[in-house]
Amino acid sequence: NAGVTQTPKFQVLKTGQSMTLQCAQDMNHEYMSWYRQDPGMGLRLIHYSVGAGITDQGEVPNGYNVSRSTTEDFPLRLLSAAPSQTSVYFCASSAGTGSLETFGSGTRLTVV
Amino acid sequence: GQQLNQSPQSMFIQEGEDVSMNCTSSSIFNTWLWYKQDPGEGPVLLIALYKAGELTSNGRLTAQFGITRKDSFLNISASIPSDVGIYFCAGFPSSNTGKLIFGQGTTLQVKP
């Protein structure tokens, strides 16, 4: 079982560039989420989705867009990258809201 | 927003020693979770707690859901070098729609 797959593992962007972080899960989970991890701050929720076609904002949504066209995929888009978005990004999925989440292995993003 | 205060921030111990870390909040939580993160990987669930007062073990790990529902602790007995990593508490507050809140993490280093 692949679980939650994130690509790429590493990425360097220039300020102002755009990119999409990919996330896919093969567990038929309804709930998917994106977190960012910064030193000393734990993981903070960016956006989440309770099912295909439904997305909502988390704690730190500014500068990020998401969509959920299928149950399996939940891409995170940075429209105009900023140095403040340098972080490690984790995608997670679970059977439903309030259920235990399985995490991907992360994408380390550096914006210069 | 809701916060979890995790302590200590870091620990450097000798192999064989016991370890204790805790998490507190000003809000009531319905579920407490403890995760471990190895370098370059996503968090992996260690223990889940669902009831106030619940005490649960997983091998050398023991965690408790505080009676007040505002705190939890994790103990690791007889530490070994592979216990090295970042430990996160997390929980689902009773007041929101199931968004997972993370503590800041405890970095554990074990000296052989």
pLDDT digits (tens, 9 = 90+) for A13-29: 999 999 999 999 999 99
Residue A2's pLDDT band, with cuts at 50, 70 and 90, is confident
Q: Which amino acid is at B19?
A: V
Q: Would an 8 Å CB–CB cutoff place B6 in contact with chain A?
A: yes
pLDDT reported for residue B3: 80
- Whether B1 has a pLDDT exceeding 70, the answer reads no
pLDDT digits (tens, 9 = 90+) for B10-59: 999 999 999 999 999 999 999 999 999 998 899 999 999 999 999 999 99
- Per DSSP bridges, beta strands B106-111 and B10-14 are parallel
- Burial of B10 per CB tally in 10 Å (0-12, 13-18, 19+): exposed
pLDDT of residue A39: 86
- Distance CA(A32)–CA(A5), nearest Å, equals 12
Distance (Å, whole) CA B90 – CA B99: 10
User: Which B residues in the span 8-67 are in contact with A, Cβ-Cβ below 8 Å?
Assistant: 9, 30-31, 33, 40-45, 48
Q: Flag whether pLDDT at A81 surpasses 70.
A: yes
Determine the pLDDT at residue A97: 79
pLDDT reported for residue A1: 62
pLDDT, tens digit, for every residue of A35-50?
A: 999 988 889 999 999 9
**Which residues from A are below 8 Å from B when comparing CB atoms?**
4, 33, 35, 40-45, 48, 58-59, 90, 92, 97-98, 100-106
Q: What is the pLDDT of residue A99?
A: 83
**Closest chain B C-alpha to A100 CA, distance in angstroms:** 8
Chain B interface test: which of A36, A43, A49, A94 (most B C-beta within 10 Å): A43
Give chain B's mean pLDDT. Answer: 93
Contact A91, A2 (CB under 8 A): no
- Torsion sign over Cα A63, B4, B107, A8: negative
DSSP code, position B39: T
Q: What is the mean pLDDT of residues A65-77?
A: 97
pLDDT score at A13 = 97
Q: For residue A69, report the phi and psi dihedrals to the nearest 5 degrees.
A: -85, -20
The whole-angstrom distance between B100's CA and the closest CA on chain A is 8
pLDDT mean over A78-94:
96
Instruction: Say if residue A63 is exposed, middle or buried (CB neighbours under 10 Å; 0-12, 13-18, 19+).
Output: middle
Rounded-to-integer distance, Cα B32 and Cα B50, Å: 7
Distance separating alpha carbons of residues B112 and A3, to the nearest angstrom? 33
